[in-house]
Every structure is written in C-alpha cells, then in structure tokens.
Structure 1
C-alpha cells in the first residue's frame, strides 16, 4: 500500500501480523487502500460510532458491505482496473478513501486483511472554577453598646448580628484580648477570631472586657437583658 506521502495516508502494518494494519484518524487526510482480487479487507471503526452512509465512485468495481452493528465495513475489488474513491460517514466522523487494485505482480506483503482506525482521545479541557463569592458583610442587628475604660483600647465599631459580636479597630491598631462576662458575672476568655476586618466573638453576652497589658475597657451590651431557659439571648 504505497501512495503519495503528502496526498494520502497509508495504513501501517501491525507488529504481530502485518496484515492487521492501523491508521490514525485525520479528518483532513485521504486514506489509500490497495485491494487484491479475491481478498476482502475489513475496515474497523471506533466501537462507539455507527456507519450512516457509504458513497463510492465506482459501485460496479468494488463490493462494499457493512455489518449489522454498522461499525465494520467489508471491501473487495471486483475489477483490476477499478480505481475510485469512497466516503464513509458515521454518526461521529467522516472518512475519505482512495481505492486502488493491486497489479498481477504485486507483492502479497502489502495485503491488508484488517484496517483499524485509531481515534485520539478527546483533549481534556481545563475547567477553571470561578472565584468564590466574596463573603457577605455582617448585618448589624444591634449597635446598642456602651464603652467605659481606657480610650486606647476603644474600638471604632461594635455590633452584633444576633449570633456573634463584632469589634473593629483601625488597621494599624494592636488587637486586645477579649473576655466575656456572662449573665452570672463570671468572666472568661472569649473565643475570638479575625474575619473580614473584624474581631469576631461567636456569641452574645451582656458584657465584654478588652485587655491589653494593664489597660482594660468594658463593653456593655445595652440591649442584652437576660438569658432564656434554653440559653438564648433575649433583649
């Protein structure tokens, strides 16, 4: 099966049996097939595609038969002079062939019993996840807080959203330790973390005490009245 290298693609012999040949699928390349009188060649397409249409230039010079599953095509030349072309359309791809017949003195080493198409796997497309939505700003449900103590510790803003208490200071300020004073007057270190520019204490309380060294400042929640039997804050 020798043809013009730049015009057609010739199936490659297999390593185990040269009569089992392969050809890489290229939609822009014509595949040259050489038939031998009295010998049929089977074209094997991808397992996931089905033949929809076969068109051949010289239908009298070649016998063309698909199998029932429509993924195989059997070719056999009927006339030594039957040089023609053939197009196979499947539900996935299009194949274009040049069909020639070997001469009476042609070598049997070029004979192909099976021509199998190798279809490259689809390229993986990197899917870039969109950036996460910026966190929503906390909703201030209560800003009724009073401050008493060292002015150096005074936050620029204090509020709660009904679940957590938020403290804000200028960006260059050192953050104090936050202690929470429960309804029973017991003081303990608050569970606080910096989130989105705020020092957030994940609870409500009647009072907080801010400490830095020997300095302190008391923050009183004026809207906090008592704790319900379930431990929920009530105002």
Structure 2
C-alpha cells in the first residue's frame, strides 16, 4: 500500500512537471566542457542571440569550417569563436582545427520565436561554452557556485570507483514523450556529486547534452544547478531529491529515493 501510494505520487509529480514546462526555469547559460579527443560537442544557440565558444587557452586556430555556412554568422578572434544562427532550420556542424586539437561541434538552434530572454534560457540556449583540458575545469560556472548543497571544489572528471565512498544508486527515472534519447543508462551519487550517464557518447549522432535543473521538494520550483559534461556523464555539483534534464521540449525526471 505504501509503495503504491509512493508510485502514485511520483506519477502525479511527473505529470505536473511535464505540464509546467512553460513555467520559468533557466538552464545554466555558461558551461564548461573538459576537452576529449574524438568527442562531438553540442552547442545550443537561439535566433537573435550570439554564443561564444572559447577554446582551450593555449590553442592556436589553424582553420575552421561550418557545414551550412549560409545559415550562420561565424567570426573568430584568437581562440574565441562567435556563432549566431541566421534562420530556424539551420542545424549543422562546426569543425575547428588548431595546432594541438580538433574540435567537432554540433550547432543546434533550440529557440527561435522567443519574446523574452527567459524563454530562450528555458529552452536551453548557451551564451558561452568554455573548453578546458581534463581536470582543469575549475573555472566558469563552477567558480560561481553559491547554492546550498553545491560543492565548489568538485572534481571535474567522472570518478573511478572509490571503495572509501558510499554510493547511492536508488534513483527512479521517467521521461516525457519523445525524450527517450535523454534517458540515462545509470544514475548515482557519492554524497557530494551526482553522476548521470547518458547514451550515444561517441555515436554518429553525438551525445545529447541537456540542461540540468533541480528541486528541493516534489512541488518546489525548478532551480539552476552547476554541472559539467565529462565523456558521456553529466556531473551535477551537488545531491538533490529531484533532477530534471531538458533539451528543448524533451524532459527527463530523476528522483532520488530515501536511503536508510
């Protein structure tokens, strides 16, 4: 009876949150990626908004190319690239070659008919994407952390198994219609960080990199949390009762079950 009641409450929460997609909830518009050779990175843009892509600090750009060049404004200054879509249906790729690395980027337009910046942010637009080398992602959004439960000195790489830590795997996951690509293959935490392992890390379609939100209570409002992508793992800086992964209209809900 208790389990049935708990399942019913979870189902009601899923339905309620899916219905509240129009309520204010902002993705982190500044994001840090740990560079990894051979990986495809997704950069989410919006019509009428410029997005800055900052490469690893010591990179010297040799050349770059956009697949659908007529649909994008692209400019470069040093190791910084600015992109802005000219139209709606212009998703494409961007290849940047430096003396040390090759960046493979999918450019996606996630917002077009927005009237307020809040609406574009809610769709997951990124203002700035910063690339750093593995283990050095201590700048960007992480340095701005001030929310309770967020660990400002979080390790920026997906962890090896540490026998001294107590891991929690008791998570439930639910997805809205059409969001199966965002469904994680595994979710767990170590008491300080939450690890959400996604699919398609190195496939031809690349990794779906969602915006991440949290809730303190089942009926509480969505709030922005700091996170970063490492390989095919979204590392959330903190542990929360509820998480929401969003990519445009796609939504995945994650609930941390009570542990004794």
TM-score category of the 2 structures, normalised to the smaller one: 0.3 to 0.5
Higher strand share: 1
* TM-score under structure 2 length normalisation: 0.37
Q: Comparing both chains, which one has the higher relative contact order based on Cα–Cα distances under 8 Å and sequence gaps of 6 or more?
A: 2
Q: Indicate the structure with greater helix content.
A: 2
